[in-house]
């Protein structure tokens, strides 16, 4: 792959989702006109779109988990989950659950925190399931 084309493709990746992406892609199609270049550009853009699809799937799984947690909010204590499993406050937990903006940034659970949340829900479920009256 030609060095300039490789550099352009890396810049294209950085601009994904912006108007600059379309502008750069249009310009590249005018500059890199050989069949080989067109094929490389097409393959690179396809790979970027696959990455987006994977990312969207992961976000959707996270949103599904958060919807489940919100649906049981009357049944379980978020304070208990926050303090026991995260060693954080209920406010911290709620900010992430609701996607609040704090200091200009949207609060979200990290991947590791989502794993902890899933573990917490499974653990609570086991504890409740083991109760016998």
CA angle 83, 94, 91 (to 5 degrees): 60
CA angle 94, 98, 99 (to 5 degrees): 110
pLDDT digits (tens, 9 = 90+) for 18-54: 788 778 888 888 888 888 888 888 887 777 766 666 5
pLDDT in the model for residue 93: 92
pLDDT in the model for residue 63: 64
Residue of 46, 47, 28 lying closest to 38 (CA atoms): 28
In this structure, the dihedral spanned by the alpha carbons of residues 62, 100, 82 and 127, taken in order and rounded to 10 degrees, is: -40
pLDDT in the model for residue 85: 96
Positions of the chain with pLDDT lower than 50, given as ranges: 1
The residue ranges of every structural domain in the chain are 3-56, 72-129
pLDDT in the model for residue 58: 60
């Amino acid at each position: 792959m030609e060095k300039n084309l490789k550099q352009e493709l890396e810049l294209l990746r950085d601009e994904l989702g912006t108007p600059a992406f379309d502008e750069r892609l249009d310009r590249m199609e005018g500059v890199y006109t050989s069949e080989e270049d067109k094929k490389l550009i097409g393959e690179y853009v396809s790979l970027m779109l696959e990455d987006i699809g994977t990312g969207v799937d992961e976000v959707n799984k996270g949103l599904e988990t958060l919807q489940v947690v919100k649906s049981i909010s009357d049944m379980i204590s978020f304070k208990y989950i926050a303090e026991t499993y995260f060693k954080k406050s209920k406010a911290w937990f709620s900010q992430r659950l609701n996607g609040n903006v704090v200091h200009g940034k949207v609060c979200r659970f990290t991947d590791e925190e989502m794993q902890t949340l899933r573990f917490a829900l499974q653990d609570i479920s086991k504890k409740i399931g083991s109760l016998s009256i």
